[in-house]
Structure 1
Amino acid sequence: MDTRKEEHELHLLGGNTVYRQDYAPEVLEAFTNKHQENDYWVHFNCPEFTSLCPITGQPDFATIYIDYIPDVKMVESKSLKLYLFSYRNHGDFHEDCVNKIMKDLIKLMDPKYIEVTGIFTPRGGISIYPYCNYGRPGTKFEKLAEQRLFNHQIK
């Protein structure tokens, strides 16, 4: 039996869901990685991301890809869903959204490595696909971040 709920690491699972109406990084929850001795990828595909243009207030739609190599903490998926949903009425440019998502997840988990890609649908005939990444300084993951940034290709 998984004891993470009993250890009070997780609060959202099994309870009533409250959807925030504006950017809410405080809803993010983490739990302990049971396989800290392994380096492995965790991939999230979030195809229903919505935010608002900060100038026009028009909705922007995207698929957000989050890939990370955990260390001690991992993000809980329901809290991630609620966090991403909190952008629904939040005005930010595409590039700001992906960078804020990455920084909030770094603050939450302190992963060994993380990257966030936004595949935004076209507006005005132009698609924008911002990408950002981070590797823990002074480790092989810092080198991985540099390599993946310089060799980045659209998913």
Structure 2
Amino acid sequence: MERKEEGLHALGAKTKYSMDYAPETLETFTNKHPGNDYWVQFNCPEFTSLCPITGQPDFAEIRISYIPAEKMVESKSLKLYLFSFRNHGDFHEDCVNTIMKDLIKLMEPKYIEVTGYFTPRGGISIFPYANYGMPNTKYEKLAEHRFFNHNMDK
């Protein structure tokens, strides 16, 4: 199947960078193994956003792990989406929750978790973590278990 037939536009095209938050850049493709449970992990060590109060840049490593259902996020579109935060003003916790919610809306994964390892500012690091499990499934229980047993050490 051609990539264009799956609705993928970013992959293989000239890269266009958005100057502000752009969830519309996210694209999916069909999971060829929806009956299998397996992890997909993305690591973005150069995430940047802006403090909504001072306008100063905030730097982080964003880690996204998910168990796909029918759809999967295309990696170049995810990269462009994450880059779109660089001129976007939001608190660390908001960035992590926004990323997770946008990916849930996009893919409807069985399970997803997003962690932000933000570099220190004023001597304090912030590591927000958010997760989600598909309601009324074993993944909802997985989300609860991982949330209550989450270790925030980097």
TM range (shorter): over 0.9
The 2-side partners of 1:7 and 1:107 are apart by 21
Correspondence for 2:89: 91
Identity %: 77
C-alpha displacement of 1:13: 1.1
SS in 1 for 2:8: coil
Query: Once superposed, what is the RMSD of the aligned Cα atoms?
Result: 0.8
Alignment equivalent of 1:20, drawn from 12, 15, 18: 18
Letter in 2 for 1:92: D
TM-score computed with the length of structure 1 as normaliser? 0.97
- Give, in whole Å, the separation in 2 of the partners of 1:4 and 1:68: 25
Aligned partners of 1:4 and 1:31 also within 8 Å = no
**Deviation (angstroms), 1:6:** 4.4
Q: Which has the higher strand share?
A: 2
The question of whether the paired residues in 2 share the 8 Å contact of 1:60 and 1:120 is answered with yes
CA–CA distance in structure 1, aligned partners of residues 75 and 107 of structure 2 = 13
Q: Give matches, 1:97-136, under 5 Å.
A: 97-136=95-134
Question: What stretches of structure 2 of length at least 5 have no aligned partner?
Answer: none
Correspondence for 1:49: 47
TM-aligned CA deviation for residue 8 of structure 1: 3.3
Tell me what 1:32 maps to.
Answer: 30
Q: What does residue 75 of structure 1 align with?
A: 73
Distance 1:52 1:12 in 2: 25
Query: Do the aligned partners of 1:23 and 1:83 also contact (CA within 8 Å) in 2?
Result: yes
From the two aligned structures, give the one with the greater helix fraction: 2
- Please state how far the C-alpha of 1:7 moved relative to its aligned partner: 1.9
Give the drift of 1:4. Answer: 4.7
Matches within 5 A, 1:131-146: 131-146=129-144
Contact 1:120 1:128 in 2 (8 A): yes
Classify 1:129/1:15 alpha carbon distance in 2 versus 1 (closer, same or farther; 3 Å). same
Secondary structure of the 1:50 match is: strand
Distance 1:132 1:146 in 2: 11
Q: Is the 8 A contact 1:19 1:86 kept in 2?
A: yes
